[in-house]
Amino acid sequence: MKRAIIWSGVRSIGEIYLNPQRLRKRAKELIRAICEEYGFEVEELEVSMDHVHIMLSIPPSRAIGYAIRVIKSISARELFREFPELKRRLWSGQLWEDGYFARTVGSRMTSEVIKKYIKHHKELEQEPTQLQMKL
């Protein structure tokens, strides 16, 4: 069954790492590799500065909570191993927030709508995230 899933980081990647683009790129690679190894099909993925958007097909024999736990725990462990300064900055030892949001793909929330939504977030990352105010 296809699911759209969003989860947050403990803090923005830009706040905790000096080269956020490198970290985001590596997180995407790891998430794709983990999903492939566990038989989860990634249809769309975007690692933003402070959260992850993923459209994922999970085998019916697996619960969504299991899939998210696997992806978040392995990706965090590997990112901490590859970027030791990341763990030093996150003194709690936690990269991802505990929760997540999941939505099943269906007739009202189609694959195309979800893919468009995720791609839109990728485009937003190229623009300033805050409005500039002139005082």
Instruction: Check 17, 66, 100, 117 and give the catalytic one.
Output: 117
3-state secondary structure 90-128: CCCCCCECCCCEEEECCCCCCHHHHHHHHHHHHHHCCCC
Tokens, residue 82: 């590859």
Burial class (CB in 10 A: 0-12, 13-18, 19+), 63: exposed
Q: What is the three-class DSSP state of 6?
A: strand
Q: Give the amino acid at 74.
A: I
Question: What is the rounded CA–CA span in Å between residue 35 and residue 3?
Answer: 13
117 is catalytic: yes
Give the catalytic positions in this structure.
Answer: 117
